[in-house]
Structure 1
């Protein structure tokens, strides 16, 4: 029985490979790679295609969730749109053409925090789509545990949902055709992994081992009820242990699927990340530096960043560390040589690039059919009423720093936060996350003032979670300053405040001075720089999105429900046909112009 102690010191890496040259990042020539031995020789070609953080983005993602930064040859950048499983399928299938040994893998968060089409059906549509994509093996991420580990087992093995049942009379959910791996997720009593720790793929006579782990801190960012009885172990210790076990089974070619990531120096998906690890920061750098040198590549995720970087392993040899952003906008293509004599991957041969999931290509017909079928089932739910309003509740189209719908969403998030933690003080909502108005006028067959689930989802389509963090008063003031400084100085991003927060915004001033510090109050009391405040924000903001880096420093994190579910619950609880909800006054920020 294998049992590691979470948080123990990193093990020393063993089995160093021979000195390797920096791994190339140039795109492989599909017409043939010079110098590569034919497939019937001692050295053969191997292709690994990888995705991460799909989050059930079956339909082409909208807004920033569907955008990529492309770096041009002259150093300028442009924004391009990408994603959608119909196009991802086409891209993967084209990449596999002519390859005798190709395997498709993933590094977690394929499900969880998903859009309406997948989330309505407990992510069964996403699992079915991954089956069509010919996924071979996937590691778990933190969001695989959003509905609890037993639900994850059901998605692996199949069967109707225990509460909702089957969604079509003539079809029962069959589960995934690929194994989920959870090497460092163990039963706290037995120490045994709840799913297989690794998979050995036999690719026309060569064997490659894949070890799947999620971040050790998963327990801190998921609902505790869903992981009761589980322990999340150190990533490096776990990978190194199973690398030994694979070696004992005669498998020397090993690739780790790690749901933990980093932050590249450039946001462009095609930027040169260098060969010494200097252009990548974040948790994955320490993991990469300590993971057994016998592991040939690290496919990572969690941070939603695009990178193909070379980071030295414990033996000082370069090793590729990759991530394909999120939402199916990219897939990583790794090409390498396998040496039959040593039964291992030739490290110096490994090449990697991130490939754009271009929406100009032909969509895959079988995936289109899958989406159509689930969309038909979703329609009745999308049309269901979730609340009533007495007037239009306008969003960011008002042109004012604070707007009614932003306050309503922040109030809903504060109400949810108070259910999770009675000590919650306030909530903040990013203005860009409010995508539409709630309109009073009738839509379709509904009556005036009815808000349907579909309309609510149009307002909040990103499937963020509502998170709680601790901020000192000094940090909270820094967050308010970040609205009007740094990347937001020229075009301020004013966070929408819940009840409980008030201050003056003086637009006649410049820089941080536009936030009048001595006017900031929380719960009617002046802001205390030394006090600790419990603040609710969505997961996008909690990760430092939109230039709010201080929010990513918040302590004591707690992850709540999907933000759309939170909004729907608030509307249902606070409105009725006879007592519809009015628009908030949007007067929590006093604006001086």
Structure 2
């Protein structure tokens, strides 16, 4: 049994709860049956599968599951495939943990050495069947998937460090208790790694910084980090006392630690990523030519991470790629990401040299594979989902509205770089927030702003739950707005509003713009021929057809996450006269109920609030 299966949870406790950091040990597995025959067959280089000098180790990986146990719907359940002739086609109906489990189990067959790893955001922003139970169902599913190790992502901190500690170590929820009589949550059977998340007072990692996988003398080390900017995109109250360090410095530091322990084969699990030139899952981002390749934060990180690291498994951007990016010595190194929501998994072959104890880089091969639904779903996962759906049914199945067609929330597409600037789901949410906060006793809001990352799913007309086409249930609304952020109405000057729009495309958001969704009546022009803050055409910013006056004060509705200046909008925390209202989820549900019925369903909101100049 590998070290990850050990239930020695004291070694994985968070320092904030008073437990010290313990290094994860490793146990050597017993020699497989028939090993003596395999040793002879694999003498020298052999076939790379067993006891010769060169041994193939399979690394299965995925990222950004976000508690999507059930098959994701709409655009969240699609992929783009690149055909040989250069055209693309859409693959419908992918993902779902029942199918991911089957694909992973089939992929492991015939591989003596197989590791399953993840690059963060396994939980958080989850649909109701997991989120209602504080993501205990997803952790249980990952245990059944035989996940060996994962890094933390920013969403692992959605409910704070103490809750992450409970998910790692087990125990019932401190407020809600256990969800089933006689059943206590056992916690994760795999380590969460957080090498660059440290206690501000002691400087020590809050979770294990690395993990050593060992079988038959083969040792592979894993270092797990989240993006340095995590503090800017999570609730500040939950991470008090924690510091998020530089990704490169941290990985390089622990690579040296692992090498001192005799571990020369190293994989970094990094919750930060990039944008390939194509949104197709099978795009070859090593193809030469203009417009080819990959961009974004992962490029500079990969170019500076020590050559001691043999591969990087990444996430956060929800993109799919299997690229090579040169390390500081100029040597190609594999960098992968498997999109999001369990739609893909990556299969990487790491060829291990027993003599040097290192990975042979030239022999590394990696590819993304689609989690199709044409395989037999894993019964243990079906049973797990069914159990939690039964528990959640009284809440989940309540109808809250009706829609006439899909209300989309398009994912970023490198081939359509501005398609996600204005989203139908974003317009719906912003309008709901404006209506809720417009009454004088709710703050008198004149417009609403919604952060795009807070919109997790589309509303899909046809659902698989059997409630009827066009019916929106509470569970579906929850999947769109799972954070339950409280709404606020605040004072902002016209100058601050204009600066807010400029911060969408400058400062912390220069490399990866975050386009706020705006309520009806608030309009402006985005000039994509320019760069940075200049992309916002200041004279175009209007409210109900009237130009925004920089000296005038406006009442603006937004969730508390934005009001705190998060997501790269520091100007928003300069607000005044804050009034707190209902949660964003309650606001959306109330709006859907008030504005739709079976005979008069709600149509997708029209676009056109943001004019794009290309």
Q: Taking structure 2 as the reference length, what is the TM-score of the superposition?
A: 0.70
**Structure 2 residue aligned with 1:68, among 63, 70, 79?**
79
Q: Is the 8 A contact 1:424 1:533 kept in 2?
A: yes
Partner of 1:13: none
Partner of 2:341: 327
Q: Secondary structure at the match of 1:159?
A: coil
Q: Does 1:314 align with 2:328?
A: yes
Q: Secondary structure at the match of 2:390?
A: helix
Q: Does 1:50 align with 2:70?
A: no
Q: Does 1:130 align with 2:151?
A: no
Partner of 1:233: 245
Partner of 2:449: 427
1:296-375 matched pairs, under 5 angstroms: 296-375=310-389
Quote the Cα distance in structure 1 between the aligned partners of 2:216 and 2:370: 28
Distance 1:283 1:118, change over 3 A: same
The CA RMSD over aligned residues, in Å, is 4.7
| Number of aligned positions between the proteins | 496
Alpha-carbon deviation of 1:435? 2.2
Q: Is the 8 A contact 1:471 1:534 kept in 2?
A: no
Quote the Cα distance in structure 2 between the aligned partners of 1:557 and 1:273: 38
Quote the Cα distance in structure 2 between the aligned partners of 1:90 and 1:571: 36
Q: Does 1:567 align with 2:585?
A: yes
Alpha-carbon deviation of 1:410? 1.6
Quote the Cα distance in structure 1 between the aligned partners of 2:320 and 2:66: 16
Q: Does 1:204 align with 2:226?
A: no
Alpha-carbon deviation of 1:361? 1.0
Q: Does 1:381 align with 2:381?
A: no
Quote the Cα distance in structure 2 between the aligned partners of 1:95 and 1:359: 15
Alpha-carbon deviation of 1:55? 0.2
Quote the Cα distance in structure 1 between the aligned partners of 2:153 and 2:208: 14
Distance 1:362 1:570, change over 3 A: closer
The Cα offsets for residues 338-381 of structure 1, whole Å up to 9 and x where unpaired, read as: 11111111111110000110111111111111111111111122
Partner of 1:440: none
Quote the Cα distance in structure 2 between the aligned partners of 1:152 and 1:302: 18
Quote the Cα distance in structure 1 between the aligned partners of 2:70 and 2:386: 10
Alpha-carbon deviation of 1:45? 1.1
Q: Is the 8 A contact 2:407 2:425 kept in 1?
A: no
Alpha-carbon deviation of 1:567? 2.8
Q: Is the 8 A contact 2:66 2:341 kept in 1?
A: yes
Unaligned runs of 5+ residues in structure 2 are 1-41, 409-421, 462-466, 505-514, 526-535, 574-581, 595-599, 610-614
Distance 1:424 1:78, change over 3 A: same
Quote the Cα distance in structure 1 between the aligned partners of 2:295 and 2:91: 25
Unaligned runs of 5+ residues in structure 1 are 1-31, 438-442, 445-451, 480-493, 505-514, 542-550, 559-563, 577-581
Alpha-carbon deviation of 1:203? 2.3
**Structure 2 residue aligned with 1:473, among 475, 498, 502?**
498
Q: Secondary structure at the match of 1:461?
A: helix
Q: Does 1:526 align with 2:543?
A: no
Distance 1:532 1:326, change over 3 A: farther
1:89-128 matched pairs, under 5 angstroms: 89-128=101-140
Alpha-carbon deviation of 1:425? 5.1
The Cα offsets for residues 425-444 of structure 1, whole Å up to 9 and x where unpaired, read as: 5225999966269xxxxx99
Partner of 1:174: 186
Partner of 1:223: 235
Q: Is the 8 A contact 2:500 2:571 kept in 1?
A: no
The Cα offsets for residues 513-568 of structure 1, whole Å up to 9 and x where unpaired, read as: xx999785338852358999998789xx9xxxxxxxxx99866689xxxxx96132
Alpha-carbon deviation of 1:41? 1.4
Partner of 1:455: 473
Quote the Cα distance in structure 1 between the aligned partners of 2:272 and 2:555: 26
Distance 1:463 1:359, change over 3 A: farther
Q: Is the 8 A contact 2:404 2:602 kept in 1?
A: no
Q: Is the 8 A contact 1:395 1:406 kept in 2?
A: no
Q: Is the 8 A contact 2:500 2:572 kept in 1?
A: no
Distance 1:138 1:526, change over 3 A: same
Quote the Cα distance in structure 2 between the aligned partners of 1:226 and 1:425: 29
Distance 1:432 1:137, change over 3 A: closer
Q: Taking structure 1 as the reference length, what is the TM-score of the superposition?
A: 0.72
The Cα offsets for residues 216-239 of structure 1, whole Å up to 9 and x where unpaired, read as: 000000000110110000001100
Alpha-carbon deviation of 1:205? 2.1
Q: Is the 8 A contact 1:395 1:403 kept in 2?
A: no
The Cα offsets for residues 143-172 of structure 1, whole Å up to 9 and x where unpaired, read as: 000000110010000010001111100211
Quote the Cα distance in structure 2 between the aligned partners of 1:60 and 1:103: 24
Quote the Cα distance in structure 2 between the aligned partners of 1:123 and 1:495: 27
Q: Is the 8 A contact 1:503 1:589 kept in 2?
A: no
Alpha-carbon deviation of 1:462? 3.6
